[in-house]
Chains A and B, each alone.
Chain A
Amino acid sequence: GQSLEQPSEVTAVEGAIVQINCTYQTSGFYGLSWYQQHDGGAPTFLSYNGLDGLEETGRFSSFLSRSDSYGYLLLQELQMKDSASYFCAYDNYGQNFVFGPGTRLSVLP
């Protein structure tokens, strides 16, 4: 079947670094994406890994290991505004995107 797993909640303090892991199981996989969603808002794109390795975009980085069916999102220099839900999603044969259950990040002062 198709599925993704993420931790349900993560808590960290301002200025810290946090890593949100994502494991997936699927028969069709083109790449892994990460999205941020604030309460009441729409998801916004953060990062995409089509190949193994690390992608860096400002304070956010994402990593993919296809052989391990595993990826993570790394958030550095955490800010209060980073408090949100974070979803990993895989590109399913290029046809659609399947989203993980989401990780709720709380950043404390």
Chain B
Amino acid sequence: GAVVSQHPSRVICKSGTSVKIECRSLDFQATTMFWYRQFPKQSLMLMATSNEGSKATYEQGVEKDKFLINHASLTLSTLTVTSAHPEDSSFYICSARDGGRTNEKLFFGSGTQLSVL
């Protein structure tokens, strides 16, 4: 099956710094990738849809200037949390839909646990 690689798996940073998370589709091209945020024992909340070569589509309530998304190629999307604060601490997961016959299936990265001190 399709593989999505996400790095880093865990980040601890000081308040005010920026953190970049990478999401790569390893064996397929992903024109669209999705970024989710998950708090402990809660659901996955869609933050934004990342589109290759164009601006990301952010969900209501998600600050686009704080969560910068870049989808520069068909295999790479990045999420940068700018000026991180403790309330940004969360589990961030990327996912992609293989555009082929498995279009109904999302493949997830392993997630990034962000802790802001």
Contact = CB atoms under 8 A, between A and B. Distances in A.
Interface of A: 30-31, 33, 35, 41-45, 48, 50, 85, 87, 89, 91, 95-102, 104
Q: Please report whether the interface of chain B is mostly helix, strand, loop or mixed according to DSSP.
A: strand
A48 B105 contact: yes
Contacts of B54: none
Interface residues on B, range: 10 to 19
Contacts of B68: none
A42 B93 contact: yes
Contacts of A45: 105-107
A95 B34 CA distance: 10
A29 B109 CA distance: 25
Interface of A is mostly: strand
A98 B47 CA distance: 11
29 contacts: A30-B104, A31-B104, A33-B106, A35-B106, A41-B111, A42-B110, A43-B44, A43-B95, A43-B106, A43-B108, A44-B108, A45-B107, A48-B105, A50-B104, A85-B41, A87-B43, A87-B44, A89-B106, A91-B104, A95-B49, A96-B46, A97-B95, A99-B36, A99-B45, A100-B43, A102-B41, A102-B42, A102-B43, A104-B41
A101 B93 contact: no
